[in-house]
Structure 1
Amino acid sequence: MTSTECTPTVRHAIGSEAAAMVATTLKAISDPLRLRMLSAIAVDPRGETCVCDLAEIADVSQPTVSHHLRVMKDTGLLMSERRGTWVYYRIAPSRKTAVTALLDAFAPAAVVEVPSEGEDRAAALAALDSRVEHLAHELADEMDHLNREHVIAVVRESYTALVRSAKLTQHMIPLTERFARQRLTDLTRDRTTGVPQVLFVCVANAGRSQLAAALVNQLADGKVVARSAGSTPAAQVHPHVRPLLAEIEGDQQAANAFPKPLTDDAVRAADVVVTMGCGDVCPIIPGVQYEDWAVGDPALASAEGVAAIRDDIETRVKHLLNSLATH
């Protein structure tokens, strides 16, 4: 006889005190204007923003802007400093990680809808296993200068890494091949020879890092090679970004762009690693130059905002290329 009695189990829920603190913070940023102001401060290259600049975000009075900023300051999200007649705001150091997680991980995932394949995903992935094995042995035969078992392992690992984030299985085999080839190239690259290589890393690899890599490859004319990756890759490149990639790379290449997981080998193969809002996710490799760019997220921006982000990235890319040419 089946029992219908409820059997209580231990639940490791967030504590009441911590829950109250988190709820207070979430309530403070529940207003859309406050979220926009918070994101503007977070990506300001100066590390701070004047209240006079924030007044331009929306058609509201400056006292209204100041009120919203005080609400976020009272919860500990922001710090302020008065200089003359103006007040400057910055993200509190203790909250930078939380703000990054909100703006670069949660927010884009909340606004991007991933299409469904309309099929049983488990069955579809199971059907791909034999094709992955075939691909692994094909690449091992082709790359006979490398250890065969290592090539096969890289292909399998590449497939597994992509499956974690990719929602569509239709193009999984060609994506796995491209990712595995890139990883094998990274594994065998000698940073002391060849043209400089730049790796751009953001959270989702669906916008900023894709744009930056495309711009480097366009502007460098083969004298610098750029790659991109994500600490938590999205299922697809953001729809706002694909038209920009098409303008830079052409329709075919933009259509083939896909988010890629970050690997230690990609970092090790790079001469310069540029992080873009993803925090301290990159391993520290001796001899690799590291930079951090505070750039807005296209997934959260208007059409005008996306264009401004693209222009901002292009300016930074030009400075980077000039620096590489000088050194």
Structure 2
Amino acid sequence: MGESSAATVAATLKALSDPLRIRMLSAISTDPRGEACVCDLEALAHVSQPTISHHLKVMRDAGVLESERRGTWVYYSITPSQRAAVTALLDSFTPAAVSPESAETKVIDVDARLDHIAADLQEAHPSLDAQLVAFVVRESYAGLARRATVSTLILPLAEKFARQRLTDLSRDKTLTKPQVLFVCVANAGRSQLAAALVNQRSGGRIVARSAGSTPAGSINPYVRSLVEVIDPDGVNDAFPKPLTDDAVRAADIVITMGCGDVCPIVPGVQYQDWAVGDPALASPQGVEAIRDDIARRVDTLISSLERA
């Protein structure tokens, strides 16, 4: 190898010489879309979005990644000329460098982490049976894992989902705030917008949840940017979640948004259907129009609940 080639290889390896960058590169490489944005990668570690962006920029400057801005989000993908090298690194070098014992430990650690999550949630919900809590945790993990686009995000999201479900199971409707459940197909657009608008415009006086009959692997990026503006404190809970019976039973009102007759009918729960557009089929301007339509409906909903 010549001196110039060696310098180029060394510079690239230096850009990748960080565990988080390797994990991010692996997540982008294995994402079914072939790309990811900061919002997809931030749950890989407890670091800020600017830190994630910095690591992505280092890999982009080294020529390993390329980027494309769409609206408020920047998407990163493997540079076509570097795909063979990235594949060799992740599929050939990594298994050779990581011992079989380490791979086995990783599987055991996932199982142990689920047990740890269940123990923590059992302390938070002492009135619930321990076996029920463990079942909800594992079912939540399995439900998200079936559709996750970045596998490393599943554990923290499963913990949030299970925590929400156990809160719903423990809910006493006579003592708590009104609760609304928005249901659409993918739980990646309109239902997320509606829940964020209720939580923000009601000032916390009403609790809003969302779910999908067939949830997507990730939220629509443009919708996520709108949710981030509407409800910055709740944006980390804006991820697609499967519809569950406990979410329906905990709700005072279930509002469907183009998902058909998938919701179980529970006595004492009100049902409405909102015919609103699908952000997945709309331009950025169309998504904003959908948001405004939902906002008007949300204002009417909040008024009716507060008069009740």
Residue 305, structure 1, aligned to residue 293, structure 2: no
* Distance in 1, Cα, partners of 2:152 & 2:108: 13
1:210 matched to which residue of 2? 192
1:267 matched to which residue of 2? 248
Q: 1:255 to 1:140 in 2, by over 3 A?
A: closer
SS in 1 for 2:144: helix
1:39 matched to which residue of 2? none
Q: 1:259 to 1:230 in 2, by over 3 A?
A: same
2:33 to 104, 113, 121: 113
* Distance in 2, Cα, partners of 1:303 & 1:139: 39
| Aligned AA (1:276) | M
1:235 matched to which residue of 2? 217
Higher Cα Rg, which structure: 1
SS in 1 for 2:188: coil
Q: 1:275 to 1:146 in 2, by over 3 A?
A: same
Does the 8 Å contact 1:203/1:231 carry over to 2? yes
Deviation at 1:145, TM superposition (A): 2.9
Q: 1:130 to 1:204 in 2, by over 3 A?
A: same
Please list every run of 5 or more consecutive structure 1 residues that lacks an aligned counterpart in the other structure.
Answer: 1-111
Greater share of residues in helix: 2
Q: 1:125 to 1:296 in 2, by over 3 A?
A: farther
| Aligned AA (1:150) | L
2:202 to 199, 209, 220: 220
Please list every run of 5 or more consecutive structure 2 residues that lacks an aligned counterpart in the other structure.
Answer: 1-31, 42-86, 92-102
Residue 133, structure 1, aligned to residue 53, structure 2: no
SS in 2 for 1:240: helix
Residue 181, structure 1, aligned to residue 163, structure 2: yes
Does the 8 Å contact 2:147/2:216 carry over to 1? yes
1:291 matched to which residue of 2? 272
2:144 matched to which residue of 1? 162
Q: 1:253 to 1:271 in 2, by over 3 A?
A: closer
Count of aligned residue pairs for this structure pair: 214
Q: State the identity as a percent.
A: 59
- Listed as ranges, the matches of 1:27-46 within 5 Å are none
SS in 1 for 2:208: strand
Does the 8 Å contact 1:125/1:169 carry over to 2? no
Provide TM-score, normalisation by structure 2. 0.64
SS in 1 for 2:146: helix
Does the 8 Å contact 2:210/2:241 carry over to 1? yes
- Listed as ranges, the matches of 1:88-99 within 5 Å are none
Provide TM-score, normalisation by structure 1. 0.61
Q: Deviations over 1:116-153 (max 9, x none)?
A: 89878x98777623322222233224433321111111
